[in-house]
Amino acid sequence: MSASFTHSPSVAVLGGGPGGYEAALAAAQLGAEVTLVERAGVGGAAVITDVVPSKSLIATADAAVAISEASDLGVEFYAKGESGRPLKPEVAINLAAVNKRLLSLARQQSDDMRRQLVDAGVRIISGHGRLDDAHSVIVATGPGGTDFDRVEADTLVVAVGASPRELPAAMPDGERILTWTQLYDVKALPEHLIVVGSGVTGAEFASAYMNLGAKVTLISSRDQVLPGEDHDAALVLEKVFTRGGMTVLSRSRAQSVERVGDGVVVTLSDGRTVEGSHCLMAVGSIPNTAGIGLAEAGVQLTDSGHIRVNRVARTSVSNIYAAGDCTTLVPLASVASMQGRTAIFHALGDTVIPLERRRITANIFTAPEIATVGRQEQDLATGAINGYVHKLPLAANARAKMMGISDGFVKIIAREGSGTVIGGVIVAPRASELIYPIAIAVERRLTVDQVSRVFAVFPSLTGSITDATRAMHLVNRDDDFFG
């Protein structure tokens, strides 16, 4: 047990994103008196300006691609002209209407989350909060910081998130030079969008806007898009990008971005220039930890400003926890949510399962999607672990043929000797859904033989998972589950 209380425990949560929301909800369910402080709205940036609207935009792009490629499946769209002869219509994107819908969906989600917290008995304060000491938060609630509210609690959870990184030589103006939070103010589809940064955010928006019909140039300072991700997956994505008409400038570093008239000019470090109508700066994020009293309260930060946490989301101060992109763990909404719950379970003495990086499932919402879990092939290459890999192209899958899917694969990583599944990669439409069986296998330490003996529907894309694990069978391997 982490804590015992002679009264109802009190919890104050600073930040209402996925981590703060889940922490507040879990604390209320465990009978604590809970106060949540949030300046932008429940759900935070993840719901209002990041994950929800961006993935909604990607879903719209996917719909546009489905329409444009329907003819490959024998579905054709025509309208009759004045002469009665068929005219083939073009797919048009009303970006203003699209963005209005995205932001409306985000606000609806925020409102739903707020309602759930209120129904659970959580007190919500709108304003800018900062730690006054290890047991209290000061909230500026009035305009210009004129009114203040003080919240005292046994346990504090800091979940303040992160903001887009801004570079002095490429300062966003909200019109032509943009961060990913500003894209939703653009009224018309960019004629030529230059994306600086080929990490997850850059790749996702480059993919979406290409599929919406914009000309896209992706500037990557590394050898491949998605540096650090599975090499085979990055190769598939680059092939899809190039085939779709995107220009990918690898090993190219943007030195500056300037607005020139109704467009932008990106100057590269080697002197080359790229001209476009808009530029998206996707060069990472910085934690929102400055000036909120963390250091004064004794909370240890990294040089980058991230909060150091252990596997139960606890900081260097025993009663202060942290969750989400402001911490040293992986910056994913699902991770933030799990950290928030874990923090509360630990603080209030409930059952706790410490977080492990090897169990984290991640997804990149490009087209096709790239989902990963656990150990990766590069871990084997570096000698970090002994294992073996099998990759099965989706093109061999009957359901993929029916759906017109030609790109992608299923890759399984298993431990040498036992055949225990320790990781996987899926590149496919809806890979975010398909990765779940592999995530369960990693979590429960199932062997490839055990996974292969689970019935998959035929035809289905999940059939490639059983096919891949079946191909990894080794004769005479011990199997203590099936005997």
Instruction: Please report, in range form, the residues annotated as the binding site for FAD.
Output: 55, 129, 325
Burial tier of 115 (Cβ tally within 10 Å: 0-12, 13-18, 19+): exposed
Q: DSSP secondary-structure letter at 314? A: B
Q: DSSP secondary-structure letter at 209? A: H
Count Cβ neighbours within 10 Å for each residue of 360-386 and write b for 16 or more, e otherwise.
bbbbbbbbbbbbbbbbbbebbeeeeee
What is the radius of gyration, based on Cα positions, of the chain? 24
Cα–Cα distance measured from residue 97 to residue 183, given in angstroms and rounded to the nearest whole number: 13
Burial tier of 174 (Cβ tally within 10 Å: 0-12, 13-18, 19+): exposed
Percent helix, percent strand, percent coil in the chain, to nearest 5:
35, 25, 40
Cα–Cα distance measured from residue 361 to residue 194, given in angstroms and rounded to the nearest whole number: 30
Binding residues: 55, 129, 197-204, 284, 325
Binding residues for NAD(+): 197-204, 284
Number of H helices, E strands in the chain: 13, 25
Give φ, ψ of 86 to 5 degrees.
-70, 140
